[in-house]
Amino acid sequence: MKSENIIGKIEKRFPEPSLHIDSPYHEQAIKAVQEAVLPCAADILPRVPGSLLNPSSAEYFERTRPARFGCSSLKEALEQKGGDPAWKAAEPAYEKVVAMLKQNPEGPYFMGTTRKDIREFAARSSGADI
């Protein structure tokens, strides 16, 4: 299930406190976070199976995700598309995310001191659809 579907279901089922999906910054935040994470995916995804998944899920993940990089394995993806060049490519997008965080001087979250915000959800779930 895509993150957008999950967010809508959460907001419908638990309307209070709101995730503020009607915020004018909603799409802007999701796009900025995705732009920041996607270039780094070849560095991030190879660490997922051993850290977060049970054996059967890890096997599926390791079998299916390399195709997203045009590689035969996550190790190959990391070697060919990861490392410093990937993080350097992501720098402008991370600068956008930092600028968005600084828009609210009450910080440290997108909505200042309030964590329950769609942008926080987006920032934490943006890699789910990689």
In this structure, is residue 58 part of a structural domain? no
The pair phi, psi for residue 109, each rounded to 5°, is -100, 170
In this structure, is residue 100 part of a structural domain? yes
In this structure, is residue 76 part of a structural domain? no
| Separation of alpha carbons 68 and 112, rounded Å | 36
Tokens of 81: 């598309």
Tokens of 115: 């964590």
In this structure, is residue 74 part of a structural domain? no
Domain housing 121: 3-42+82-129
How would DSSP label each residue in 50-66?
HHH--HHHHHHHHHHGG
In this structure, is residue 99 part of a structural domain? yes
Higher pLDDT, 49 or 17: 49
Higher pLDDT, 54 or 8: 54
Tokens of 23: 């915020």
In this structure, is residue 90 part of a structural domain? yes
Number of domains in the chain: 1
Residue 84 has pLDDT above 90, yes or no: yes
The pLDDT tens digits for 101-127 are: 888 777 777 766 666 555 565 555 555
In this structure, is residue 62 part of a structural domain? no
In this structure, is residue 67 part of a structural domain? no
Q: What is the pLDDT of residue 123?
A: 59
Q: What is the pLDDT of residue 120?
A: 60
Tokens of 32: 């900025």
